[in-house]
Amino acid sequence: MKKKIFGGIAILALVVMAAWNVSIGSKTNGITDIMLANVEALATSESVTCPNGCLPNGDGCTCNGWNACEKEAS
């Protein structure tokens, strides 16, 4: 009789854990639209210092940071 009770409790515990896992998995990951907008704003530069890009064999270009061996395209 004790084995049946213990088995029933074990099965019930597994069912509860599975239901809780499904409940947790169905929730959103917490990233809101405003957070995504902030990430996009940080990822794109606010001002373009040289819209034509950089070319090789120069003495410096400031596109997307300093590039010492390139020159700004005109």
Residue 16 pLDDT: 92
The residue with tokens 């390139």 is 70
Residue type, 37: A
Q: What's the predicted TM-score (pTM) here? A: 0.36
pLDDT at 42 over 80: no
Confidence of residue 74 (pLDDT cuts 50, 70, 90): low
The C-alpha angle with vertex 39 and arms to 38 and 41, in degrees rounded to 5, equals 65
Rounded Cα distance between 29 and 21, Å, is 14
**Which 3 state secondary structure label does DSSP give 70?**
strand
Q: Taking residues 27-51, report their average pLDDT.
A: 71
Q: Is 67 helix (H, G, I), strand (E, B) or coil?
A: strand
Cα 30 to the center of its chain, rounded Å: 11
